[in-house]
Amino acid sequence: MDTIVLGLFLLATFIGAVVSGVAGFGMGVVFVGMWAHILTPIQIATLIVGYGLVTQSYGIWKLRRALSWPRLAPFIIGGAVGAPVGAFLLTYIDSTHLRPAIGVLLVLYSIYGLARPVFQPVQAGVAADAGIGVLNGLLGGLTGLVGIIVTIWCQLRGWSKDEQRTVFQPVMVAASALTPSP
């Protein structure tokens, strides 16, 4: 990495940290938009996963008494299946195709976040939660964005904000920990 690229990386990281800190969420979502212009998808996924482990682990420690392991298990087991597959695919997917796809995903997720649509709560079981875990792990292994799918799913389930946090935060840490470095 030459000096100019390193400088751009550090500047983008600083700006991303400020934006993420002000918004209070979405570190990976904020960073990937800037890093995609500087780094390879493999570097981006590795950095987001690493930073996610550090930042989300603190939140889990604070929530440790409220965690429901039977509720978390399907998501984590599903993520254990999806994350390695996503990381494996990352080594074969051309970055010229992956970058625009990630951009479209970020735009759609941003629109969803701004619109905040209200749905009837989805009644689903363990199998659906495990399927969401697989998809979340797959996206995490492919992009490092380990929280988008599970966060939307928790909202669709109609859980309170506290219930959502006790699911998506540990699932994000688990998905990050389960994502192998390609």
Angle among Cα 28, 30, 32 to the nearest 5 degrees reads 65
Domain that holds residue 38: 3-178
Domain count, the chain: 1
For the segment 28-55, the average pLDDT, to the nearest whole number, is 77
CA–CA gap between residue 100 and residue 79 (Å, rounded): 24
Tokens encoding 121: 């709560």
113-139 in b/e form (b: 16+ CB < 10 A) is beeeeeeeeeeeeeeebbbbbbbbbbb
61-119 pLDDT tens trace: 888 888 899 999 999 999 999 999 998 888 888 878 888 888 888 888 888 888 888 88
DSSP string, the chain: --HHHHHHHHHHHHHHHHHHHHHTS-HHHHHHHHHTTTS-HHHHHHHHHHHHHHHHHHHHHHHTTT--HHHHHHHHHHHHHHHHHHHHHHTTS-HHHHHHHHHHHHHHHHHHHHH----PPP---HHHHHHHHHHHHHHHHHHS--SHHHHHHHHHTT--HHHHHHHHHHHHHHHHHH----
How many other CB atoms sit within 10 Å of the CB of residue 40?
A: 14
How many other CB atoms sit within 10 Å of the CB of residue 163?
A: 15
Is 70 exceeded by the pLDDT of residue 7? yes
pTM for this entry:
0.75
Is 70 exceeded by the pLDDT of residue 153? yes
What does the mean pLDDT of the chain come to? 84
163-176 pLDDT tens trace: 998 998 899 888 88
Is 70 exceeded by the pLDDT of residue 53? yes
Q: Report whether 39 contacts 31 (CB < 8 A).
A: no
